[in-house]
Amino acid sequence: MAKIPETLILTRADVEALTDMPAVVDAVASAFAAHAAGRARMPPKVYLDLPEYAGDFRAMPAFFDGAAGVKWVNSHPQNPRRHGLPAVMGVYIYSDPETARPLAILDATWLTAIRTGAAAAVASRALARPEARSLGFVGAGVQSRTMAMAHRVTHPHVTELVFADVRPEAALAMAEAFGGRVGSVEEAAACDIVCTSTPGAEPVVLARMVRPGAHLNAMGADAEGKQELETALTVSARIFVDDPAQAFHSGEVNVPLHHGDLREDQVAGSLGAVLNGQLVARPEAGAITLFDSTGLAVQDLAVARILVARAREQGRGVSLPLVG
């Protein structure tokens, strides 16, 4: 029997060291486009609900462009308070689709954070007005950090950053790290581009707070019943989703759809369709655009592939005979 090649193991520290945000942004944009064009295979996200532990697990497999992989990730919002652990943790298995051998196993906690941050920036580049100069963040956790990092790549011309959070110290830390200022939710929501990354249990951004012509990235609602934006704001916006099936079930639009305040045919389409030139982002400058993000398995795969390639180039990580 032939010797089975070893599996590359990449830790959180490895993944962070290997992160090149411009490359991540490009990879995520290509994943959106491939998914919209039907060039990727991505079964629906599988949820394992664990209400007795106030959390859930999600399995996210994907294949495209000769690569395959799956992410096993959780959402346990009470982890920081109860256990001193992150609310979201993950592991990614990157496989050879021809032989099925595991090429790499890597931390997916930071991978998830950077691909989500990149998704928001890709959406802002495609949907926001070109003259946008202010960027507001409602929620100042890890996700806001990677969104700020990614927007530095796509929007270097932004001159004002506003951070709002129920924890003033978190907003201050972000403001100091990125050269912005601490503000109220109203101030952050009044920016040209608004990124929300809150737990999404109840709406925090109201319609009256948002200016005509603004673009919103709703990143926090990732399960049925979650909602960050007031329904009146959502239904008045030109809505783009990452994946209709996922968004209708667990994205920002899921609550308005469930209550009959929004119809599926009122959603303009997918972000990937905009990137592929199939849809117009904003027919008029005064429209409010909304990107509803649930997170795509093809995004994880696209980013995992470049991380593994960079690790091999740099000799980073540890190789083990995992299945040999």
Catalytic residues: 71
φ and ψ at 303, to 5 degrees? -75, -40
Distance CA 23, CA 297 (A): 17
Q: CA angle, 119 as apex, 204 and 122 as ends, to 5°? A: 110
Cα–Cα distance, 249 to 228 (Å, whole number): 15
- Pairwise CA distance, residues 170 & 137, whole Å: 12
Gap between the Cα atoms of 9 and 320, Å rounded: 7
Helix (H) or strand (E) holding 238, with range, is strand 238-241
CA-to-CA distance for 223 and 250, rounded, in angstroms? 4
Cα–chain center distance at 313: 27
